[in-house]
Structure 1
Amino acid sequence: MILFFGRTDDPPLARAVGAARDAGLRHLVVDQAHLARYDLVTGTGGLDGLLVVDGMRVPLDTVAAVYARPLEPPAGGDAAARARVAAFQEWFVGWLDTAPAFVVSRPSAMESNSSKPYQAQLIARAGFPVPDTLVTDDPGEVLAFRDRHGRIVYKSVSGIRSIVREFTPADEARLPLLRGLPTQFQAYVPGRDVRVHVVGGRTYAASVDSDAVDYRYAGRDGDAARLAPFDLPPDTARHCVELAAALGLPLAGIDLRRTPDGAWVCFEVNPMPAYSYYEAHTGLPIAAALVSLLAGDRTPAGASEAAGAWV
């Protein structure tokens, strides 16, 4: 059995559940929006036992694979209900790290993204170039870094999503705020963005054509982002699979930029990617590949898909 954990109004989870349904695979959805429906009967070890859903008892040792997107559950109900939901979520997320099932992805592996500077070191160790980076609370260091590189951008240090912005002269007046909030600055890298989704041993790449510094929020600045399937070079595809494997991530969203001279630079590895956005704009069959992986397909590393022909 495949178990899905998350919110059914979350597009990546919903697409994966739909793909499992279309494939006729036996599956169960644990919906974070309705955790009050679920009970746990734990075994003597504390991390085994039964999941009880509307009276149906599901032994956890019958779960072969899990796709987990643990988001914040809704904050409704009284204090007792909220405490019960919090306890269930804490137990279940803990179980994901120790379950004998194939888990996409284990919370301990996803923690690599909690500190972007730390993850950048792991990316560099795996052999991908990363932008020259400064993390500081010193305004003088920022100005020296800008003078050295000419163009720089800034972003959050943590794994919490932030909008990447270019540092401009108008930002200089805000530099004293750094004293209370260390920030990550990076040398601006020219080129075209390519998002690569690694699914087991397969890669699904999408190129992004946009004038925005952060194409995810292009619309906020009056810009546009145009996505298209991208034929990733075999060596780069293999390198992406190796990087995801080194981070312990069966599913990963890798943010690359191809520079004008043809080099590849890696910005970040998203351990819980919202692949649905890229799939909807390109037709890349990421959800189907994810469900196939959960069902036991372990395609050799480096298989690359640029268009929606994979079945």
Structure 2
Amino acid sequence: MILFYGLLDDPPLARAVEAARVAGHEHLVVDQARLARHDFVCGTGLPGSVSVDGRRVGLDEVTAVYARPLELPAAPGDDLAALARAAAFHRWFTDWLDWADALVVNRPLAMESNASKPYQAQLIARTGFPVPETLVTDDPDEVREFRAEHGRVVYKSVSGIRSIVRELTPDDESRLHLVRGLPTQFQAYVPGRDVRVHVVGREVFATAVESAAVDYRYAHQDGLEAELTACRLPAEVAERSVALAAALGLPLAGIDLRRRPDGAWVCFEVNPMPAYSYYESHTGLPIAAALAALLAGARTPVEA
């Protein structure tokens, strides 16, 4: 039995659920928008169960879980008791994911490596991928020295919260004092072509990105375009990507690479809850189908 947990209007979850349905895999969807109407029972010495719309499934029957726990929605008219019940369900369920005797994509504890980008960069480097020269600081003078050393520099949030990657420009000089109140990550700019790699178990799906934007995800905000096409990775890079996902304990991972003009590959970060649907919709890569097959046990999960 496969459990899906998240919001049904979240494209990555919706695509995975549909892939499981098409493949005929037995599954149950736990919709975060309806948690106050569901039941979750889990206690010491008991197998526990989850009940959705009158359908009860024992936790010992669950063989795999794909969870995309997002912020709980507050529907108009929800009373405090319903909100508290939903919050309790969410807390208990996500706690259970860390010790469930099932394939979990992905366990919350494993995803925490992305909560600190500098920490995750160290883990990435241990697997053999070069990472950009990095400075994390709250000192404007250190930023100026770093820029003088490397020339082109980009900056982004230190935490796992999504932020837009921007290039440091002369116009930013008047704002550098702001880092005193918010330590920021600065990195030497790496030229080359972006490649997003999705690792699903031991399978690799790569997307090449052509864009003049520093952060192609937000190219439209700068009046630019981003063209996505499926591509093949060199065998060594593909193997290293699988090894990186395994080292982080992530059966599903979105790895941000850039191929430099000299042919070297640099890794920026690893997304433990990737919105793969964006890449699948542009390239036709069968990521959702591979994920459904992994959850059903038809594919081999990645192991550290």
SS in 2 for 1:268: strand
In structure 2, what is the Cα distance between the partners aligned to 1:89 and 1:32?
A: 8
1:72 is aligned to 2:67: no
1:236 paired residue number: 237
| Counterpart contact for 2:195–2:256, Cα < 8 Å | yes
In structure 2, what is the Cα distance between the partners aligned to 1:220 and 1:122?
A: 32
Residue 300 to residue 182, structure 1, CA distance change in 2 (3 Å): closer
In structure 1, what is the Cα distance between the partners aligned to 2:257 and 2:53?
A: 45
Residues 239-273 of structure 1 show CA distances to partners (whole Å, capped at 9, x for unaligned) of 00000000000000000000000000000000000
2:289 paired residue number: 288
2:199 paired residue number: 198
1:5 is aligned to 2:21: no
In structure 2, what is the Cα distance between the partners aligned to 1:259 and 1:41?
A: 51
2:147 paired residue number: 146
| Counterpart contact for 2:254–2:272, Cα < 8 Å | yes
SS in 2 for 1:98: coil
In structure 2, what is the Cα distance between the partners aligned to 1:42 and 1:285?
A: 35
1:152-231 equivalences under 5 Å are 152-231=153-232
1:18 paired residue number: 18
1:95-174 equivalences under 5 Å are 95-174=96-175
TM-score, normalised with respect to structure 1: 0.95
1:306 paired residue number: none
1:309 paired residue number: none
Which amino acid in structure 2 is aligned with residue 56 of structure 1?
A: R
1:90 is aligned to 2:91: yes
Query: How many Å apart are 1:73 and its aligned residue?
Result: 1.4
Residues 133-189 of structure 1 show CA distances to partners (whole Å, capped at 9, x for unaligned) of 000000000000000000000000000000000000000100111110000000000
1:63 is aligned to 2:62: yes
SS in 2 for 1:205: strand
Stretches of structure 2 lacking an aligned partner (at least 5 in a row): none
In structure 2, what is the Cα distance between the partners aligned to 1:45 and 1:245?
A: 31
In structure 1, what is the Cα distance between the partners aligned to 2:254 and 2:297?
A: 21
| Counterpart contact for 2:36–2:86, Cα < 8 Å | yes
In structure 2, what is the Cα distance between the partners aligned to 1:300 and 1:139?
A: 45
Query: How many Å apart are 1:45 and its aligned residue?
Result: 3.9
TM-score, normalised with respect to structure 2: 0.97
2:269 paired residue number: 268
| Counterpart contact for 2:65–2:295, Cα < 8 Å | yes
Residue 84 to residue 300, structure 1, CA distance change in 2 (3 Å): closer
Which amino acid in structure 1 is aligned with residue 55 of structure 2?
A: M
In structure 2, what is the Cα distance between the partners aligned to 1:299 and 1:264?
A: 26
In structure 2, what is the Cα distance between the partners aligned to 1:210 and 1:136?
A: 29
Query: How many Å apart are 1:300 and its aligned residue?
Result: 8.7
Query: How many Å apart are 1:212 and its aligned residue?
Result: 0.1
Which amino acid in structure 2 is aligned with residue 35 of structure 1?
A: L
- RMSD across aligned C-alpha pairs, in angstroms? 1.1
1:246 is aligned to 2:247: yes
Query: How many Å apart are 1:37 and its aligned residue?
Result: 1.7
Query: How many Å apart are 1:299 and its aligned residue?
Result: 4.3
Query: How many Å apart are 1:29 and its aligned residue?
Result: 0.2
In structure 2, what is the Cα distance between the partners aligned to 1:275 and 1:300?
A: 18
Residue 214 to residue 125, structure 1, CA distance change in 2 (3 Å): same
Which amino acid in structure 2 is aligned with residue 20 of structure 1?
A: A
In structure 2, what is the Cα distance between the partners aligned to 1:107 and 1:231?
A: 30
Stretches of structure 1 lacking an aligned partner (at least 5 in a row): 302-311
In structure 1, what is the Cα distance between the partners aligned to 2:39 and 2:268?
A: 41
1:307 paired residue number: none
| Counterpart contact for 2:195–2:257, Cα < 8 Å | yes
SS in 1 for 2:199: strand
